[in-house]
Chains A and B, each alone.
Chain A
C-alpha cells in the first residue's frame, strides 16, 4: 500500500473486520483486550468499543521489558501496566499501533507471561511495516506498508488519530 492512501478510519475498519473474523475462526472466548502504551491503547480503546468486549481494557507499558535498556536506558515516565491479577487460561487480544521489528511484541509477550499462561493470544495492529527482525507477525492488520530504511512511521493521537512519516538520519 502506498503512503498517500492511508486513511485512519479505513484502517480501523479493516482491523476490526479482520479481528472479528479471527475471533470467530480461533473460537476466542471472553477475551481480554490489551493495548500497548501509548498508540496501541488508542487503537485498543476503539476496538474495545466496536467489538463489544466485556472485560475492561488492559494497558501494557513494556518499557521495563525492552531489550535495548543497556543502550538507551529507561524512560523515567513509565505507565503502570494494568493487567488483571491472572491471565492464566485466558484468551487475549493484543493491540499495538505499528508493527515493525517485532521487538515490542516480544517484550509485551514476556510481560504477559510473567502474569500467567494464557490460553491463546492474537495480535492486531493498525499498520504493519516492513523490517521484521524476529520471527513474529501480527494476525490482523489494518494495512501493510513498505517504507525506506531511514523512514519511521508514527501514530499521533489520541484525538484525532493521525499518521506521521518521519525521515530519520539513523534507523529507529
Chain B
C-alpha cells in the first residue's frame, strides 16, 4: 500500500495525483476544502471564469458512464480556463481491442496535462498514474468498488458548509455499502477529518465482510442506526452491479432501509440528508425527503464544481513546480 499512498504526493508532500482519500492526511484534506471555498465564490460571480489553468489540456477518460461527475469536471475545467476533452471510451477505441496503456500513450502523444479517469475496475487510475509521464496528473473520478475521492470531498465540503466542523458529528451512511466506492471514500474522509462517529446502516448482504476495519459502527436496523445522527448519507441501490440475489425486492428494501419522513424524525432535528445521486426515488429515499427542507442534495451538486476546481488546480500546480 505504501507505494500507492506515496504515488499521490510529490517530493514536497503536495498533491500530484488525486487517487484515493486513504493515505492522505487531515491537513491536505482541509487544504482542499479551504481552496474549494475560494472557488465556490467564482461560480457565484457574473463572470464564472478565471485564467488559472489557461493553456492546459485536461482529458476526461470515462470508461464507465456518468452524467453528473463528468459534467461537473467539465464545468470545473472550463471555469479554470483549461481546455477539456471528454472521451467516452466505452464506445470508442477500447471496444475495438486497444489496451488501456495504448489508449493512454495515444492521449499522452497529444500533449495533455491531466487525465480524469473513471473505470469499472478498482485500481485503474493508480495503474494509469504509475505509467504516465511525470508532468501528467491523474484524478480518480471513481474506480470500481474502490474509491470516488472527489465525490467524498464535495460531501465533506457540504457537511462543513452546514455544520462548520467535523468534531462531534455522528454521520450515518445508509444502503448499498458493498458496491459503493463513494461510501469507502466518505468513511476514510470522515475519519481523517475527525468525525465523532461514522455509522454504516445496511442489510448484511450489502455490507463488505471486513467493514468494521474501516473504522465504522455497523447497524443492520435503520431505526436504531438513525438515533442521534447529525448527517444522513443515503446511497443509491446499484442495480447494475447486483449479479446475485442480494435483496428480495425494491419495495421490500424501501420498507426496511428507505428514508421516509417518519424515519427522518428519528435523527436529530437539525440532521441533513445527502445523496451522491442519481436518486432512485421510492427505493432508497422518498421524494418528500429528497426534496424536503433537510435535503442538501442539490447543494452537493453545486459544490462538486468548486471541489473539482480545487483538486485540479492543486494537482496541476504541484506537478509544475514540484521538482
Residues of chain A lying within 8 A (CB to CB) of residue B41: 78-81
Instruction: Tell me the bound Cα distance from A80 to B46 in angstroms.
Output: 11
Residues of chain B lying within 8 A (CB to CB) of residue A171: none
Residues of chain A lying within 8 A (CB to CB) of residue B49: 114
Instruction: Tell me the bound Cα distance from A74 to B35 in angstroms.
Output: 8
30 contacts between A and B (CB under 8 A): A64-B38, A64-B42, A65-B51, A69-B52, A69-B317, A71-B321, A73-B314, A73-B317, A74-B35, A74-B38, A74-B52, A74-B314, A74-B317, A76-B31, A76-B34, A76-B35, A76-B38, A77-B34, A78-B38, A78-B41, A80-B41, A80-B44, A80-B45, A81-B41, A81-B45, A83-B45, A83-B46, A85-B46, A115-B46, A115-B47
Indicate if B320 sits at the interface (CB-CB under 8 A). yes
Instruction: Tell me the bound Cα distance from A70 to B44 in angstroms.
Output: 25
B residues neighboring A (CB under 8 Å): 31, 34-35, 37-38, 41-42, 44-47, 49-52, 313-314, 317-318, 320-321
Partner of A70, one of B37, B45, B317: B317
A residues neighboring B (CB under 8 Å): 63-65, 69-81, 83, 85-86, 110, 114-115
**Central interface residue in B35, B38, B313, B314, by most chain A CB within 10 Å:** B38
Nearest Cβ on chain B to A65's Cβ, whole angstroms: 6
**Central interface residue in A76, A85, A110, A114, by most chain B CB within 10 Å:** A76
Decide: A63 near B321, CB < 8 A? Known: A74-B313, A110-B51, A115-B47: no
Instruction: Tell me the bound Cα distance from A70 to B137 in angstroms.
Output: 14
A65 touches B50 (CB 8 A): yes
Residues of chain A lying within 8 A (CB to CB) of residue B313: 69, 74
- Name A73's closest neighbour in chain B (CB-CB): B317
- Name B56's closest neighbour in chain A (CB-CB): A70
Residues of chain B lying within 8 A (CB to CB) of residue A114: 47, 49
- Nearest first, the 7 closest Cβ-Cβ pairs linking A and B are A78-B38, A80-B41, A76-B34, A64-B50, A70-B320, A76-B35, A73-B317
A73 touches B318 (CB 8 A): yes
Partner of B321, one of A64, A70, A77, A80: A70
